[in-house]
Structure 1
Amino acid sequence: MAVTEKSDLSFRLAVREDCPAILAALKLLAQSIGVSERCESTLQDLEMHGFGDKPQFTVMLAETDGKMAGMCLYFPMFSTWLGKPGLYIQDIYVHEGCRNAKIGEKLLRHVSRIGRDEGYAYLRLTVDEGNEGGARFYSNHGFIRSDDEYIYKLIGPAFDAFCDA
């Protein structure tokens, strides 16, 4: 199905029953940037951490003709330097057949407006190395690359060893 800018587009918050479609989109995102092996999330992970007793993230879905065209997974954060809360955009994905209809931009703007209305003052995200398309997209929409900080991570056995030391 070809989607155009004139196609009916709606947004809604994801519910637990959307987890299979969200997981499929995350796997397609990882595949599209050549890092399929890095997407370790399972259906149970998404259900528990997104829709369980203590939700850790929110997913906004973009739909055309009642089908998911794209999704944006995000969660709150806080900047001690700004003294304000913001939203961290973890993943944004638009299905291939729905691209070139500005769905990604509309989805990101929709999430941004909701965030602003709820008191959030900024967006933050990272772009995977090698994802030139993503970097261009954000740059074209006014995002600036931070040159004053680096991201470090502690995961897997290294995280466990650090905790247990």
Structure 2
Amino acid sequence: MIADIRIRAGKIEDAGAIHRAILAMGRGLDMADKVTCSVDDYRRFGFGPDAAFGSLIAEVDGGFAGLCLFFPIFSTWRGRPGVFVQDLYVDDRFRGLGIGERLLREVATWSKARGGDYLRLEVDGENVPAQRLYERLGIIWQTKDRAHAAYGGAFVALAEGLEI
């Protein structure tokens, strides 16, 4: 029986665990080759006064069990802040214990305390168990939204005013 599940804010000392979790997510989605970040990237961008993201760490009996990596967002239509969950990860050994739900509830509480009134996330189309969890929690699939992204050369061209 699991004695203690705890959710806490991520600390700079967690950068290695965050990196390992993201690598595990990549492997689980057969996209490990897409993960190009380093532990130093998490240290540099995830902590301090200008942090680009926040993190919550789930621990079971004092050891790493899961991660929620997020950042604040703002809806111009709603006129309200919210939170975007970039990554939600639960170690295979601890799945089924409600850790993912606890992490999502905690990040929603974090956002609500700052005036937020919504949460957004994206999920891999083949990750049906995660989709079921999200739907059970009222996080519904937005059929009218469509995510677009610019990476690599396309992003550089956009930022520098160049043609693709």
Q: What TM-score, normalized to structure 2? A: 0.92
In 1, are the aligned partners of 2:21 and 2:89 still within 8 Å (CA)? Answer: yes
- Higher mean displacement: 43-52 or 85-94: 43-52
1:40 and 1:134 mapped to 2: Cα distance? Answer: 24
Q: Which residue of 2 aligns with 1:149?
A: 145
CA distance, structure 2, for counterparts of residue 163 and residue 57 of structure 1? 21
Does 2:84 match 1:99?
Answer: no
Give the CA deviation at 1:162: 2.1
| Shift of residue 52, structure 1, vs aligned partner | 4.3
Give the number of aligned pairs: 161
Q: Which residue is 2:42 aligned to?
A: 46
- 1:28 paired to 2:24: yes
Distance 2:5 2:43 in 1: 26
Q: 1:65-118, CA deviations, whole angstroms, 9 ceiling, x for partnerless residues?
A: 111111100000000011100000000101111111111111111221222122
Q: Which amino acid aligns with 1:13?
A: A
**1:10 CA displacement:** 1.2
Give the letter aligned to residue 109 of structure 1.
Answer: R
Matching residue within 5, 17, 22 for 2:13: 17
Stretch of structure 1 that moved more, 125-134 or 16-25 = 125-134
- Give the SS at the match of 2:101: helix
Q: Secondary structure at the match of 1:71?
A: strand
**1:53: Cα distance to partner?**
4.9
Distance in 1 (CA, whole Å) between partners of 2:37 and 2:48 is 15
Task: Please tell me the root mean square deviation across aligned C-alpha atoms, in Å.
Answer: 1.3
* 2:6 partner letter: S
- Asked if 1:137 corresponds to 2:157, the answer is no
Alpha-carbon distance in 2 for matches of 1:110, 1:89: 11
TM-score (norm 1): 0.92
Name the residue aligned to 2:112.
116
Q: Which structure exhibits the higher relative contact order, with contacts defined as CA atoms closer than 8 Å and separated by 6 or more residues?
A: 1
Spell out, residue by residue over 1:14-59, the C-alpha distance to the aligned partner (whole angstroms, 9 max, x if none).
1111100010001111111221112111111111110245200011
Instruction: Give unmatched runs, 5+ long, in structure 2.
Output: none
Distance of 2:156 and 2:103 partners within structure 1: 36
